[in-house]
Amino acid sequence: MNTKASLNRDRRYVGIHNDLYGGMTALGGIIKDAWVFGLIPETETCEGWQLAQLQILHDKVAAEWDKYGLLVSQLPPELRERHERIHQQAVARARETDWVPGLDVDSDMADADNPVTRD
C-alpha cells in the first residue's frame, strides 16, 4: 500500500475516493469489503479516520471473511452480488484514473527500466 497517498500529514486516512486510484489500496479494499458486509454504509468513505479506527474495521472485515473461508464463491447470493457491484464500480473508477492492475502491489512492475503502460 502506498501510505503516502492514503494518509494525510496527521496520519488520518484521506478517504477512499481521495486515495490512490480511487481506493485501489489495501485500505480501500478494507472499506469496500466493509460495504459488502454492511459494516459501514456505502456512503462512508472513512475520510479523517485514524489508523486505529481502520484497524478495528479491518478486524471486523476479516472476521466476516472467515465465515466464508475468504472466498467470494462462498458468499450468500445477496453478498456475492453486492461484492461484484461494489468491486466492478471501483475498478471502473480506477481505470478512469489510469490505474494499472497490479502496479500498486507489485514493485517489480514499477521498474524504471521496464515501465508498465496501459493499452
CA distances from 7 to 2, 37, 89 (A): 9, 24, 23
Return the number of other C-beta atoms located less than 10 Å from residue 5's C-beta.
14
User: What secondary structure letter does DSSP report for 82?
Assistant: H
Using DSSP's 3-state secondary structure scheme, residue 13 falls into: strand
Q: Which amino acid is at 29?
A: G
In terms of pTM, does the model score above 0.85? no
pLDDT at 1: 41
Q: Which amino acid is at 65?
A: W
Per-domain boundaries in the chain: 3-110
Mean pLDDT of the chain: 85
pLDDT of residue 110 exceeding 50, the answer is: no
